Amino acid sequence: MLPKKETLTIEFKSDINKLPDSEIIEAVVAFANTEGGELYIGMEDNGEVTGIHKKHENITAVSALIANNTVPPVSVRVEMVEDVFPVIKITVPKTYSGITATTTGRTIHRQLKANGEPENVPMYPTMFATRLSDLRLLDYSAMPLLQSSIEDFDPIEVERLRLLISTYHGEKNLLDLTDEDLYKALGFVREQNNVLYPTITGILMVGKVSAIKMYVPTHAAVFQVLEGTEVKNNDDYVLPLLQTIERLNDSIETRNPEEEIEMGLFRIAVPEFDRRAVREALVNAFSHRDYSKMGNVRVAVSDDGLTIANPGGFIEGVSIKNLLTAEPHGRNPQLADALKRIGLAERTGRGIDRIYEGSLIFGRPIPDYSASTSVTVSLLIQRSKPDRQIAQLVSNEQKRLGRPLSLNTLMVLNTLKDLPKSTVSQLAEVINISGTAIKGILDNSIAAGLVEGFGNGRNRTYILSPKEYNTKTAKIGYVRQVDIDEARYPELIMNLAKNMAFLSRADVVQLLHVSSSKAYNLLKKLVEQGVLEPVNKGHYAKYKYIGNDDPTRPTR
- Which of 79, 84, 76, 97 minimizes the C-alpha distance to 25? 76
Give the separation between CA 459 and CA 31, rounded to whole angstroms: 43
Report residue 264 CA to chain centroid gap: 34
Give the separation between CA 156 and CA 160, rounded to whole angstroms: 6
When mean pLDDT is compared across 29-38, 145-154, 361-370, 461-470, the lowest value belongs to 461-470
136 inside domain: no
pLDDT tens for each residue of 23-46: 999 999 999 999 999 999 999 999
When mean pLDDT is compared across 126-135, 230-239, 401-410, the lowest value belongs to 126-135
How many Cβ atoms sit within 10 Å of the Cβ of residue 515? 13
Average pLDDT rounded to a whole number, residues 213-239 = 93
Percent share of the chain, pLDDT over 70:
93
Q: Is the pLDDT of residue 143 over 60?
A: yes
Give the separation between CA 291 and CA 400, rounded to whole angstroms: 46
Q: Are residues 396 and 453 in the same domain?
A: yes
Inter-residue contact 198 to 188 (CB < 8 Å):
yes
51 inside domain: yes
pLDDT tens for each residue of 175-202: 999 999 999 999 999 998 899 999 999 9
Q: Are residues 42 and 113 in the same domain?
A: yes
- Per DSSP (E only), the strands in 257-301 are 258-263, 266-271, 297-301
Supply the pTM of this predicted model. 0.74
Omega before residue 72 within 30° of 0, cis: yes
**10-13 and 37-41 beta bridge pairing:** parallel
113 inside domain: yes
CATH code of the domain containing 531: 1.10.10.10
Average pLDDT, the chain: 88
- Which of 253, 206, 243, 201 minimizes the C-alpha distance to 221? 243
Q: Is the pLDDT of residue 545 over 60?
A: yes
Q: Are residues 410 and 498 in the same domain?
A: no
Average pLDDT rounded to a whole number, residues 528-543 = 84
How many Cβ atoms sit within 10 Å of the Cβ of residue 48? 11
Q: Are residues 60 and 73 in the same domain?
A: yes
For helices 407-418 and 424-431, angle between their N-to-C axes, nearest 10 degrees: 110
Q: Are residues 411 and 509 in the same domain?
A: no
CATH code of the domain containing 24: 3.30.950.30
Query: What was the pLDDT predicted at 448?
Result: 87
Final residue in a domain of this structure, among 62, 90, 123: 123
The CA-based angle 455-456-462, given to 5 degrees, is 55
Give the pLDDT band (50/70/90) at residue 418. confident
For helices 407-418 and 435-447, angle between their N-to-C axes, nearest 10 degrees: 80
Average pLDDT rounded to a whole number, residues 498-519 = 82
- Which of 365, 367, 366, 362 minimizes the C-alpha distance to 380? 367
Give the separation between CA 262 and CA 178, rounded to whole angstroms: 49
Give the separation between CA 283 and CA 94, rounded to whole angstroms: 31
Give the pLDDT band (50/70/90) at residue 224. very high
Give the pLDDT band (50/70/90) at residue 505. confident
What burial letters (b/e) apply to 80-96, b meaning 16+ CB within 10 Å?
Answer: ebeeeebbbbbebeebe
Where would I find the H helices in 322-382? 333-341, 351-360
Give the separation between CA 380 and CA 368, rounded to whole angstroms: 5
Beta bridge partners of 58: none
- Which of 293, 286, 329 minimizes the C-alpha distance to 308? 286
Give the separation between CA 259 and CA 147, rounded to whole angstroms: 52
Q: Are residues 495 and 465 in the same domain?
A: no
Query: What is the domain range of residue 465?
Result: 388-483
Q: Are residues 67 and 105 in the same domain?
A: yes
- Per DSSP (E only), the strands in 370-460 are 376-382, 451-454
178 inside domain: no
Percent share of the chain, pLDDT over 90:
56
When mean pLDDT is compared across 326-335, 416-425, 431-440, 544-553, the lowest value belongs to 544-553
Give the separation between CA 240 and CA 127, rounded to whole angstroms: 25
The CA-based angle 531-535-538, given to 5 degrees, is 110
Q: Are residues 421 and 519 in the same domain?
A: no
Which helix (H) or strand (E) covers residue 231, if one does?
Answer: strand 230-237
321 inside domain: no
Assign residue 20 a region: left if phi > 0, alpha if psi is -120 to 50, beta otherwise? beta
When mean pLDDT is compared across 283-287, 412-416, 456-460, the lowest value belongs to 456-460
Which of the pair, 543 or 351, is modelled with greater confidence? 543
DSSP structural state of residue 172 = G
Residue type, 356: Y
Average pLDDT rounded to a whole number, residues 337-364 = 86
First to last CA, the chain: 63
Inter-residue contact 469 to 505 (CB < 8 Å):
no
Q: Are residues 423 and 521 in the same domain?
A: no
Q: Is the pLDDT of residue 217 over 90?
A: yes
Inter-residue contact 535 to 543 (CB < 8 Å):
yes
Final residue in a domain of this structure, among 81, 100, 123: 123
528 inside domain: yes
Query: What was the pLDDT predicted at 265?
Result: 66
Give the separation between CA 405 and CA 398, rounded to whole angstroms: 6
3-state helix, strand, coil in the chain (%, to 5): 40, 20, 40
CA distances from 132 to 128, 313, 336, 338, 417 (A): 6, 13, 17, 21, 43
Cα dihedral sign for 399, 403, 406, 407? positive
340 inside domain: no
pLDDT tens for each residue of 311-335: 988 887 788 888 887 776 778 999 9
Give the separation between CA 59 and CA 44, rounded to whole angstroms: 20
Give the separation between CA 206 and CA 436, rounded to whole angstroms: 47
Q: Are residues 108 and 73 in the same domain?
A: yes
Beta bridge partners of 306: 301, 381
Give the separation between CA 437 and CA 55, rounded to whole angstroms: 55
pLDDT tens for each residue of 443-500: 999 888 889 888 777 788 898 886 555 543 444 444 444 554 566 788 888 888 888 8
Residue type, 554: P
Q: Is the pLDDT of residue 554 over 70?
A: no
132 inside domain: no
Q: Are residues 443 and 503 in the same domain?
A: no
How many Cβ atoms sit within 10 Å of the Cβ of residue 2? 16
Give the separation between CA 322 and CA 431, rounded to whole angstroms: 10
Average pLDDT rounded to a whole number, residues 8-29 = 95
Q: Are residues 439 and 541 in the same domain?
A: no
Final residue in a domain of this structure, among 434, 460, 483: 483
- Domain count of the fold of the chain: 3
